[in-house]
Amino acid sequence: MKTQLYWSLLALTLLGACVSSKKYKALETKYQSLEDSTNTQIRVLEANNTILQKEIDTLRFQRARLEQKNATLNLTNEKSVAMINKLMKDYTSLEKEHITLLKNSAQEATVKKQLLVENQQKLSTSSKLLRKYRQQIFKLQNQVSSQEDALEKQYTKPNTNEDNPLDLRSRIVAKIPPQDRKYLDIEVDKGKVYIEIVDSVLFENDQKLTPKGEALLANLRKILKEYNLQVNGSEGQAENGSQSRKMNEVNRVLKTSRMKHLKDEQPISTISVPKNQATPLSLKNRKTMNKNPNSKTLIVVSEQDK
Residues 181-226: tens digit of each pLDDT: 888 888 887 778 888 888 888 888 767 888 888 888 888 888 888 8
Task: Kindly give the pairing relationship between strand 229-234 and strand 192-198.
Answer: unpaired
Residues 278-291: tens digit of each pLDDT: 333 333 343 334 43
Region 95-109: what's the mean pLDDT?
89
Query: Is CATH 3.30.1330.60 the classification given to domain 165-303?
Result: yes
Residues 109-157: tens digit of each pLDDT: 889 889 999 999 999 899 889 988 888 898 888 888 888 777 777 665 4
Q: How confident is the model at residue 277 (pLDDT cuts 50, 70, 90)?
A: very low
> Which residue(s) pair with 192 in the sheet?
189, 302
Instruction: Check whether 245 has a pLDDT greater than 80.
Output: no
Q: What is the 3-state secondary structure (H, E, C) of 27-85?
A: HHHHHHHHHHHHHHHHHHHHHHHHHHHHHHHHHHHHHHHHHHHHHHHHHHHHHHHHHHH
> What mean pLDDT value characterizes the chain?
75
Instruction: Check whether 246 has a pLDDT greater than 60.
Output: yes
Crossing angle for the helix pair 211-226 and 165-175, to the nearest 10 degrees? 140
For the chain, which residues make up each domain, given as ranges? Answer: 32-156, 165-303
Q: Which of these, 167, 163, 147, lies nearest to 155 by C-alpha position?
A: 147
Q: How confident is the model at residue 89 (pLDDT cuts 50, 70, 90)?
A: very high
Region 249-253: what's the mean pLDDT?
78
Q: How confident is the model at residue 264 (pLDDT cuts 50, 70, 90)?
A: very low
- What is d(CA 43, CA 55) in angstroms, rounded to the nearest whole number? 18
- 116 to each of 52, 113, 130, how far by Cα in Å? 87, 5, 20
Confirm whether pTM is higher than 0.75. Answer: no
Residue 63: per-residue pLDDT: 93
Instruction: Check whether 87 has a pLDDT greater than 90.
Output: yes
Query: Which H or E run contains 227?
Result: none
Q: Which of these, 201, 207, 206, 208, lies nearest to 185 by C-alpha position?
A: 201
- What is d(CA 110, CA 12) in angstroms, rounded to the nearest whole number? 133
Residue 107: per-residue pLDDT: 87
